[in-house]
Structure 1
Amino acid sequence: MLCLSWRPYLLVLLFLCLAGHLNTFDVIVGNNELVYNGFPPDMNLGGQALWRGNFLSLTGALGGTSGHVFCSYPLSFQNHPGSPISSFSTTFVFVMDFNNHHKGNGLTFMLSSTSDLPDNLPGQYLGLPYSNSDVHVFFAVEFDTVLNPEFGDIDNNHVGVDFNSLVSVESQTAGFYDYIGEFQTIVLESEKTVQSWVDYDSKSHQLNVTLAPCYISKPQIPLLSTTVNLSSLLSLGPVYAGFSASSGKGSSGHYVLGWSLKLDGVAQPLDYTVLSIREFESHGPNYLIRGAPSIVLAVFLIVLAVLICRHLRKAKEDDDWEIKCGMPSFTYKDLVTATEGFSNKMLLGKGGFGRVYKGVLPTTTQHVAIKRVSPESKQGKKEFMAEIAILGHVRHRNLVQLLGYCRYKQELLLVYDYMPNGSLDKYLYDKNTPTLDWARRLHIIKGVASGIFYLHEDWEQVIIHRDIKASNVLLDDDMNGRLGDFGLARLHDHGVDAHTTHVAGTWGYIAPELARLGKATKATDVFAFGVFIIEVVCGRKPIGPASTSGDLLALADWVRGTWQGGSIIDAVDSELKDYDTTEVELVLKLGLLCSHSLSRLRPCMRLVMLYLEGGARLVDFQPASLVAGGREDEKVDEAVCASSATTVTIISGR
């Protein structure tokens, strides 16, 4: 009660202390526009990036660090497949503060197919990925202060354009053209605030980059003008917009003070009075953090309030855990013993969520898999509780079984049945593993379909998995496929719409309407399952380079093109030597139907099971029928399991 009764007074006092000493920020966020005159603390931060007052710091005080920050929600540059791609315009104010004459490496504005970037990249890579990936596409405008000739740099103070590679498409010395057309150099590491404008025309593929010191109007002549086709990035689905930076061996800072972006229009001008540019240039970033003595008092009051409330909040959290998840099933000591102190030799794998270890329980000698959720995982606690709430109650032979959990201080651990044969993707792409024959692949496909059908139709509530993919299918002793990783899963009552309203999943398996509307449904799971079964048959990843142009191409589009060009059987994994062509053709066509761009034309999992088990016959259809003719109605009747494209012929006796 003390915490609740004191909180309003502390907040009012804090506001009074801070008023007049800290800058405010003005934020506009919409479907096709964002304006940050100063930044709120809810940005998606990674690496060494920090929110400091009302601006963003991308690199820490120590040298050799990198950081990145993205808008908290992805942008959609295309309404639906085949529709025009949006142009964009953006402007931002930044400053590079290199203490003690130590050089940093630079800063970038970037658009990326994922916001999940590595946290600690070498300095010369500017916080951008330096290894090519067929599932990761990025575009960046770099403001670089180090000469790297191998990346196409022309000097150590330049602006460059990068597309899916650190080798610049175009590069120019940093500067601007004044009102009489004379070039004026801008020294990026001068600790002065600089404004940049980036404008892209999606029709002509024209990209203009303009630079100027703050308080100077946008120059009429761009610093850099080049042609670059960003369609392979902007047409894939949701795109994450933000910034990255890296420092050298010494301490250096890279800061973004304000940012405006608009699709199919001109970005709004930034409000310099809100950005406090003059204060930043006069005193540096530390001044804005130190502030006035009243801020120290406010901080003291905050600490006091936190200390008063922490114990009560912790008690309430413990009650919530036990209500939602039940009592912990394992002790931390037992799990440390089981994994030999979380030894690297017991490590099975790792990802953005944390690490998975093999373990042997000391009391029963049972072999288990233990997921140790990383404290830095952005969604760790939420996903941890989702797994317990869902997997702790469902039981199915084709779902990974959760045995229990442990919560100890900041440690979150989940304990599962051990799957000795690992994940399916290893058998599809690792040349050191034996090739799965067709009978085994079909058996795995049917098993996963059975598990999804159970989640959608057979359990007491509807469970939307939201991350169906080969790496989340684990293989037990008998090579049965079991669907796992329910950290993104959501459940709702039968006959009621799901309430998920943001994009989640893995690139390549995300349905078009999910990317556009952010609403996960049974149909979006069916889409991912369709991509998954095509992947199993073809032995190819969901997104890969086209054979001729080298551009990225969705796997379903590649299979459809193969079918149109001759026989759909030509898409089968070349490693498969002995298979039933009728079964392979059925699975490929079913995969294409499940991954149809219009959700109302996808079969439900009940029909999928009938098709796979021979209880219903999939009628003939042509590849042209898989291409959407227009925009889908946003209100899809999920009770409709199939339409004319999935006419069902029930075979008697089943």
Structure 2
Amino acid sequence: MLHHPCFLHLQYPILVLLLLSVRPDAAVADGGEFIFDGFSGADLNLTMDGDASVADGLLRLTSGRLSFLKGHAFYPYPLDFTEVSNGSSLASFSTTFLFSIMGPYIDLSSHGLAFVLCSNKDFSSALPGQFLGLLNQWNNGNATNHIVAIELDTIMNSEFQDIDSNHIGVDINGLISVSSATAGYYTPTHAFRKLSLTGGQPMQLWVDYDSNQAMMNVTVAPCCLSSKPSWPLLSVACNLSTVLPGTAVYAGFSSANGVLGSRHYILGWSFKLNGEPAALNYSALSIKTIQELAAQLQYQPHTNKIKTIILCAALLPTVGIAIAVSATLFKLHMKRRLDARRNQLEWQREYGLPSFTYKDLLIATSGFKDKMLLGKGGFGSVFKGLLPHSNRTVAIKRVSPESKQGMKEFMAEIVILGHLRHRNLVQLLGYCRHKQQLLLVYDYMPNGSLDCHLHTQDRNLCWAQRFRIIKGIASGLFYLHEDWEQVVIHRDIKTSNVLLDGEMNARLGDFGLARSHAHGADAHTTRVAGTWGYIAPELARLGKATKATDIFALGVLMMEVACARRPIWVNSADGEPLALADWVLAAWRRGSITDAIDPRLDDYVEEEIEVVLKLGLLCCHPSPNARPRMRLVMQYLDRDAALPTDLQPDTLLMSNFDVSQDDNEMHEQHAMSCPTTAITDLSRGR
């Protein structure tokens, strides 16, 4: 009976299944869990395409042989992310993997790789290069993509607003990260250690998503640490149930090359739904192989020098032709220089600002070295500088030349801030235009930005300082709205844009989004600009900035200064987002509005702090018609006028609330009920 043909026909598939079940390098998902302690064998339980392959126990997503290639590797079976206890949300998950990125040079790579969760693992229409083999220019950012990715990116792409060329970001349906940070990890003493994603050294990454808290943590560290760092590199509030379908989710990796050929490796991978993934067996992984490949990379620059010499010798005839052509173009070049000089003189006559030379600013910042860097924003970096002739300390903003929005900011700062003079505004000293370089020079503010003093535990401002700062900002905004020859709408009032001088006086800065118009005219803005949490409801709906939208942001800032809380934060009790105005309003309803203040304050004047909090709520009224103008705000703060007697918590919710004004000019007509406001990370701003 053992030799019956039917039995023999069934025997071999059973034997194959038994052999697969005991393979050490791969495990089939059991309850949403699998682990790969290395990769080997032609029958590996992965779906691969493009340039992806398996060799020497490594999953190689891109081989580096050619440019503009992409590679994908996915666990072949869809995972059921449906949360059993709550069918409307997505299950929690955790994953960890070891990876290595090797470029043709020790310090240069060509784009990176990404861990991916998606509803469809067909990426045939995706592009390599900056699109990481995930998307293309037509579908990038579409909500129908149903993609969540953790990008390990080694190229700074201005079109995707990358922060640098060595970062980790969380991407949802597009390659503009909802949150990103320079690659690195925190030691047990909370010291930050930067990591270089290029160079080939193996590193480990963890992704932990808690569906109950709607929070994702991303952690990275060098290979084989004794334990996972306790502090994540990124902690992002996101509800993935609105992105992924739940019932059929694929997990895997995507990678792509650009002009340079790079290699991207995965050494091991562990994944689990609703729990911690199984620990990787480091002894079973091809770590030594990766380290040997990385060691070879150390000598790659010398090899390339030889190649460069050979290439230069081959190109000598071409160089000769280029010299001949350059002689023909010399006259045209001189004409362009003359035109550029004429344009520069016209620029100076029109805007009346002194122009700094690029050489002086280069000397002032020691060549724009990192040690002189004060901070980075969305459209450039700010450096501390010491002017060589006057020995004056200044702040120099270097606008990114690749950013069209950066050019608009540069123009706005010169056109508007260059003409403003007020003790509570940052003073623009001048500018420099050198080829593609755009630089702005300001007074240096030694005490940094206001948000650092409010939201850092080792710093604290007494109430007298905070009240003087509030009055200073209000004075500066009154000058912009009513006291200058034109009306200036700032459009981005927030604590990170308030700088403190040597005597802790407030200076409102960053006029890159500001717009001006004549008194009695209308502001011509149709695009939402600013930072969530400070954006008035009518601005979020219509995109129309007015004096009333600035006053809304001022009200949020006043409460933030008094309470030392972000405009929006996640409530630790229930995990839900909470607005600062609601926090203050709730304290007032309970009977004491001062219960909402910063607990570190113990020397405040109760009458002053009540005025600040109640005035902050009034400035944040849902109806723009109910918000006071800056002249009246100044009178309230100076105690020259009393707040309305009928100002109560319940009346602040009424869209038809009426506030008496001391002038006859009417508010812009944008009254409406308050919509739900989108929430993003406020910690970095622009």
Fold similarity call, TM over 0.5: yes
Compute the TM-score of the two structures, normalised by the length of structure 2.
Answer: 0.53
Letter in 2 for 1:447: G
1:590 match:
615
1:426 aligns with 2:452: yes
Note the aligned Cα RMSD (angstroms). 4.8
**Against the structure 1 CA distance between its residues 122 and 337, is the aligned structure 2 distance closer, same or farther, given a 3 Å change threshold?**
closer
Letter in 2 for 1:552: P
Does structure 2 conserve the Cα–Cα contact (< 8 Å) formed by 1:600 and 1:638?
no
1:536 match:
561
Deviations 1:324-350 (A, max 9, x none): 434652111111122222222222222
**Against the structure 1 CA distance between its residues 573 and 223, is the aligned structure 2 distance closer, same or farther, given a 3 Å change threshold?**
same
Aligned length: 423
Match of 2:125 among 75, 87, 95: 95
SS at match of 2:493: coil
**Against the structure 1 CA distance between its residues 491 and 209, is the aligned structure 2 distance closer, same or farther, given a 3 Å change threshold?**
same
Deviations 1:25-82 (A, max 9, x none): xxxxxxxxxxxxxxxxxxxxxxxxxxxxxxxxxxx99644379xxxxxxxxxxxxxxx
SS at match of 2:216: coil
SS at match of 2:651: helix
Letter in 2 for 1:618: L
| Distance (whole Å) between structure 2 residues aligned to residue 470 and residue 423 of structure 1 | 7
SS at match of 1:617: coil
- Aligned identity (percent) is 55
**Against the structure 1 CA distance between its residues 586 and 534, is the aligned structure 2 distance closer, same or farther, given a 3 Å change threshold?**
same
| Distance (whole Å) between structure 2 residues aligned to residue 131 and residue 124 of structure 1 | 4
**Against the structure 1 CA distance between its residues 323 and 498, is the aligned structure 2 distance closer, same or farther, given a 3 Å change threshold?**
farther
Cα deviation for residue 639 of structure 1 reads 2.7
1:338 aligns with 2:364: yes
Cα deviation for residue 94 of structure 1 reads 6.6
Match of 1:496 among 521, 530, 555: 521
Does structure 2 conserve the Cα–Cα contact (< 8 Å) formed by 1:503 and 1:515?
yes
**Against the structure 1 CA distance between its residues 364 and 150, is the aligned structure 2 distance closer, same or farther, given a 3 Å change threshold?**
closer
Cα deviation for residue 310 of structure 1 reads 8.3
Match of 2:396 among 357, 366, 370: 370
Letter in 2 for 1:574: P
Cα deviation for residue 150 of structure 1 reads 5.1
Does structure 2 conserve the Cα–Cα contact (< 8 Å) formed by 1:424 and 1:474?
yes
1:521 aligns with 2:546: yes
1:387 aligns with 2:413: yes
**Against the structure 1 CA distance between its residues 122 and 638, is the aligned structure 2 distance closer, same or farther, given a 3 Å change threshold?**
farther
Deviations 1:589-642 (A, max 9, x none): 00011011211110000000000001100023221222245999xxxx993369
Map of 1:52-131 to 2, 5 A cutoff?
Answer: 63-65=110-112, 95-96=125-126, 106=134, 118=163, 120=165, 128-129=177-178
| Distance (whole Å) between structure 2 residues aligned to residue 594 and residue 348 of structure 1 | 32
1:7 match:
none
Does structure 1 conserve the Cα–Cα contact (< 8 Å) formed by 2:168 and 2:180?
no
**Against the structure 1 CA distance between its residues 562 and 638, is the aligned structure 2 distance closer, same or farther, given a 3 Å change threshold?**
farther
Does structure 2 conserve the Cα–Cα contact (< 8 Å) formed by 1:130 and 1:166?
no
1:199 match:
none
Structure 1: 5+ residue stretches without partners? 1-59, 68-91, 133-147, 154-159, 168-201, 211-221, 226-243, 254-303, 646-654
Structure 2: 5+ residue stretches without partners? 1-102, 115-121, 149-159, 182-203, 219-238, 265-328, 672-686
SS at match of 1:444: helix
Deviations 1:341-368 (A, max 9, x none): 2222222222112121222222221221
1:258 match:
none
2:216 match:
165
SS at match of 1:527: helix
SS at match of 1:502: coil
SS at match of 2:601: coil
SS at match of 2:530: coil
**Against the structure 1 CA distance between its residues 149 and 528, is the aligned structure 2 distance closer, same or farther, given a 3 Å change threshold?**
closer
Deviations 1:91-132 (A, max 9, x none): x99734679xxx9675685769xx856465657955545669
Does structure 2 conserve the Cα–Cα contact (< 8 Å) formed by 1:537 and 1:573?
yes
Match of 1:554 among 571, 579, 586: 579
Does structure 1 conserve the Cα–Cα contact (< 8 Å) formed by 2:409 and 2:512?
yes
| Distance (whole Å) between structure 2 residues aligned to residue 516 and residue 560 of structure 1 | 24
Cα deviation for residue 429 of structure 1 reads 1.3
1:563 aligns with 2:588: yes
Does structure 1 conserve the Cα–Cα contact (< 8 Å) formed by 2:624 and 2:667?
no
Letter in 1 for 2:125: V
Letter in 2 for 1:406: C
| Distance (whole Å) between structure 2 residues aligned to residue 391 and residue 207 of structure 1 | 42
**Against the structure 1 CA distance between its residues 310 and 223, is the aligned structure 2 distance closer, same or farther, given a 3 Å change threshold?**
farther
Letter in 1 for 2:590: G
| Distance (whole Å) between structure 2 residues aligned to residue 207 and residue 638 of structure 1 | 50
Letter in 2 for 1:65: G
1:511 aligns with 2:536: yes
**Against the structure 1 CA distance between its residues 313 and 559, is the aligned structure 2 distance closer, same or farther, given a 3 Å change threshold?**
farther
**Against the structure 1 CA distance between its residues 423 and 245, is the aligned structure 2 distance closer, same or farther, given a 3 Å change threshold?**
farther
Does structure 2 conserve the Cα–Cα contact (< 8 Å) formed by 1:603 and 1:641?
no
Does structure 2 conserve the Cα–Cα contact (< 8 Å) formed by 1:328 and 1:407?
no
1:410 aligns with 2:436: yes
Letter in 2 for 1:165: M
Cα deviation for residue 540 of structure 1 reads 0.8
Cα deviation for residue 421 of structure 1 reads 1.4
Match of 2:374 among 337, 348, 356: 348
| Distance (whole Å) between structure 2 residues aligned to residue 598 and residue 464 of structure 1 | 18
| Distance (whole Å) between structure 1 residues aligned to residue 262 and residue 128 of structure 2 | 7
